[in-house]
Structure 1
Amino acid sequence: MKSFFYTCIALFLISCTSNTIYKKPENLIPKDSMVSLLTDMYIASSAKNHKNKFLKREKNYFFLVYEKYKIDSTRFDISNAYYTSKVDEYTEILKKVKSNIDSLNIFYREQQKIQDSIKKIEKKERIQKGSIPKKLQLK
């Protein structure tokens, strides 16, 4: 009975191994390009909830990302499947993507602060010149 029990445990452990590591495809997207591509893909996926300059919601910006990198969705899917099968490499790629998005977030927040301060200065100058009615002036 003990040998049956040990055999079952051994078969269970052997069957739990992962066989999902894919072979390296011929047209694999390099890691550095994949980082940039995934950064743009995450931005494109979050942009679908915002209206564009024509006040319309675009459903899919991914085709623009594919055009930018001159790839098609099949090549991206194959490369993404390969990198996801190698967890350590994909984790490294995603850390770089997160870093890129965080740095872009900081950059654009700083740009927004600059624009807001410029608008505030311009508004104060218009108030001083008297071009804004007193009802609308800041107190």
Structure 2
Amino acid sequence: MRKAAYTLIGLLLVSCTSNTIYKKPENLISKDSMVLLLTDMYIASSAKNQKNKFLEQEDNYMFLVYEKYKIDTTRFDISNVYYTSQVDEYTEILKKVKRNIDSLATFYKEMKKEQDSIKRKDKILKDSVLNDKRVFKEVPEELLIERDYKELEKVK
């Protein structure tokens, strides 16, 4: 009796594997477009928890992604189901998406670092102008901003 039960369970597990192969849809989104689309979708979904410049929290930015690529949810869903059935292709797509997101993160970190550096230089220059009016003679011209020239005119 036990052997029959184990055999039945084993046959049940083996027969449950899915061999579903999806046909390529007519309006399939290309791989390159899918990479860009998924990159923007991941960014939009992560932005859901952030407040915008008006300090409002938007629930869903996905509609903006669909508008940008001029597709609807049905076309995306059909393409996504097809690509997920092609595991090797989908893995390749997701690796490219990760590379895109990582490169964007690096780009924005560098940009923020550069902006912080500019703000720091501006603050140092402004503080030194307030403390010592003679500082303009010591500061190279390329570091002076138009606003600083106006302050220099006031000092003279």
TM-score, normalisation: structure 1: 0.84
Higher relative contact order (CA 8 A, sep 6+): 1
Larger Rg: 2
The aligned residue for residue 136 of structure 1 is: none
Moved over 6 A (4+): none
Percent identity of paired positions between Structure 1 and Structure 2: 73
Per the TM alignment, residue 22 of structure 1 is displaced from its structure 2 partner at its CA by 1.2
1:18 aligns with 2:18: yes
SS at match of 1:53: coil
SS at match of 1:48: helix
Structure 1 residues 84 and 117, CA gap change in structure 2 (3 angstroms) = same
- Alpha-carbon distance, 1:11 to partner: 4.4
The 1-side partners of 2:20 and 2:98 are apart by 25
Deviations 1:43-84 (A, max 9, x none): 000001110111100001000000000000110011001101
- Give the equivalent residue in structure 2 for 1:90: 90
Supply the AA of the counterpart residue of 2:100: N
Distance 1:56 1:19 in 2: 47
Q: Which has the higher helix share?
A: 2
Q: Report the counterpart of residue 56 of structure 2 in structure 1.
A: 56
Number of matched pairs: 129
Q: How does 1:23-38 map to 2 (within 5 A)?
A: 23-38=23-38
Structure 2 Cα separation of the partners of residues 21 and 87 of structure 1: 11
**TM-score (norm: length of structure 2):** 0.75
C-alpha offsets along residues 62-108 of structure 1, whole Å, 9 cap, x if unaligned? 00000000000110011001101111111110000000000000000
Identify unmatched segments of 5+ residues in structure 2: 132-156
